[in-house]
Structure 1
Amino acid sequence: MLKIKGLHVYYGLIEGLKGVDFHIEEHEIVTLIGSNGAGKTSTLGAIVNSVKTKGEVEFFGANISKLPTHKIIQRGIALVPEGRKVFINLTIEENLRMGAYNNDENFERMRDRMYELFPRLKERCAQLAGTMSGGEQQMLAIARALMGEPKLLMLDEPSLGLAPKIVGELFDTITRLRSEGITILLVEQNAFAALKVADRAYVLENGKVVLSDAASNLLHNAEIKKRYLGG
C-alpha cells in the first residue's frame, strides 16, 4: 500500500531523516516509536509533502512524493496532527463538514457514522470545539480526518495529554477502525500502548530506522523494554 524509499527530510541545514525505508500493507496498524527528535513526526510530514524531502513515497504503486499536499490527501491519506488542531471557533458538526470538503456528497452518511463511532460528539454536535475536553477534541480530530473516507489514517501522538481512561478508549477505537478496513500509521510516545495494538513497528533513532519487527516481538525485546517501556 505505502512504500517509503530512501526518505530524507531537511530543515535548512539540519537533516531530520537520513534515508528511511519502510512499508505498510493494507489493513495493518504500523507504529513508529522512538524518543523525541527521532524523526517520527518528520516522517508523517514527508508522506504528505508538507516538509522539504528527498526520496520516494509510493501509494498503491504511484510515486506521490512530488504531489502537493492537497492532492495527496485526495488520493486517500489523512493526517491527525499532534495537538489535535481542531477549529476551536466552529461547532463539532462544522468541524466535521470541514473534514468532508473533498467528500461533501457523502457528508450526512459519514457524519452519522462518526456519531455512531463517537457518541459523545453527537451529544455535543452544536458545541464549539474550543470548549471541549482534550479527549473529546481528539475524538473530533480523528472523526474530522475520517470524513474524507481515507485509505490510510496517520495519527501523530494521539494520546498526548489525555487521562489514562481516555487513552484506553482511544486505542480501542484505533483497533476498531482497523477492523473496519482502515490502515493506520501510528506515531505514539506511549510505546507500550502502541505496540499492544500494532501489527508491526519501526524504531527510529536520530532520523534512521534502527529496528523493525512484529509489534508483539518488540514488546518482549529486552532493549526496547529498557529504552521505551520503562524497564
Structure 2
Amino acid sequence: MLVTNELHAYYGKSHVLRGVSMEVRAGEIVSLVGRNGVGRSTLCKSIMGLVPPVGDIHFDGRRVTGQPPHRIAHLGVGYVPEDRAIFPGLTVIENLELGVKRRSDAARWGYDEVFRRFPRLQERRDTPAEALSGGEQQMLTMARTLMGNPRCIMVDEPTEGLAPRVVAELAELLKEIAAEGIAVLLVEQKLSIAKQISHRMYVMGDGRIVFDGTPAQLEDSPDIRKEWLEV
C-alpha cells in the first residue's frame, strides 16, 4: 500500500533521512519508534509532500514522490500531525467539515460514523475547538482525518500528554481502523503501546531504519533496544 525506497530528506544542509526504506500494507499497523530527533516525523512529512524528499515513495502502486500535499491526500493518504493542527476558532463540526474531500455514497466515514466512534465530539459539536481538552482535540484531529476516507493513515505521536484512559481508547480505535483494511503508520514514543497494537515495527536511528520486525522480535533484540531506544 505505502512503500518508500532509499528516501532522503534535508532541512537546509542538515541530512535528516538517510536512505529510509519501509512498507505498510493494507490492514496493518506498523509502528515507527526511536528517540526524538531521529527523523520519524520528517518521514511522515516527506511522504505527505510537506518536506521535499529524494528517493521513491509509492502509494497503491503509484509513484507519488514530489507530489503536492493536497494531491497525495486526495489519493487516499491521511495525516494526523503531532501538533494536531486544529483550527481553534472553529467549532468541532466546522473542523470536521474541513476534512471532507469528496462526497460519495460509498464513503466509509461520514458524520454518523464519526459521531458513533467519537460520541464526545457529538456532544460538543458546536463547541470551539480551543475549548476542548487535549484528549478531545486529539480525537477531533483523528476524526477530521477519517472524514477524508483515507486508505492509509499516518498518525504522529497521538498519545503525547494524554491520560491513560484516552491512550487506551486511541489504541483500540487504531486497531479498529486497521481491521477495516486501512494501512496505519504509527509514530509513537510509548514503546509499550506500539508493541501492544502493532503487526510490525521499525526502529529508526540517525535517520535510518536500524530494525525491521515484529514486536516479539524486537523484544528478543536487547542490543537494538539498548542502543537505539533506551535512555
TM over 0.5: yes
1:192 corresponding residue in structure 2: 192
| 1:214 pairs with 2:214 | yes
CA contact (8 A) 2:35 2:205 kept: yes
Q: Give the Cα separation in 2 of the matches to 1:136 and 1:216.
A: 32
Q: Secondary structure at the match of 2:116?
A: helix
CA contact (8 A) 1:4 1:21 kept: yes
CA-based RMSD: 1.8
Q: How many residues were matched structurally?
A: 230
Q: Secondary structure at the match of 1:9?
A: strand
The one-letter code matched in structure 2 to 1:141 is T
CA contact (8 A) 1:196 1:216 kept: no
Residue deviations 1:176-209 (CA, integer Å, cap 9, x gap): 1111222100001112201210100111001000
The one-letter code matched in structure 1 to 2:45 is G
1:55 corresponding residue in structure 2: 55
How much identity, in percent, do the aligned residues show? 39
Q: Give the Cα separation in 1 of the matches to 2:32 and 2:68.
A: 24
Relative to the length of structure 2, the TM-score reads 0.94
CA contact (8 A) 1:5 1:21 kept: yes
1:164 corresponding residue in structure 2: 164
2:120 corresponding residue in structure 1: 120
Q: Give the Cα separation in 2 of the matches to 1:87 and 1:220.
A: 43
Q: Give the Cα separation in 2 of the matches to 1:197 and 1:108.
A: 23
1:65 corresponding residue in structure 2: 65
1:3 Cα deviation from its structure 2 partner: 1.2
- Distance 1:229-1:14 versus aligned 2 partners, 3 A rule: closer
Q: Secondary structure at the match of 1:87?
A: coil
CA contact (8 A) 2:31 2:201 kept: yes
1:67 Cα deviation from its structure 2 partner: 1.2
Q: Secondary structure at the match of 1:153?
A: strand
1:39 corresponding residue in structure 2: 39
5+ residue gaps in structure 1?
A: none
1:223 Cα deviation from its structure 2 partner: 3.1
Q: Give the Cα separation in 1 of the matches to 2:12 and 2:43.
A: 16
1:168 Cα deviation from its structure 2 partner: 1.1
The one-letter code matched in structure 2 to 1:29 is I
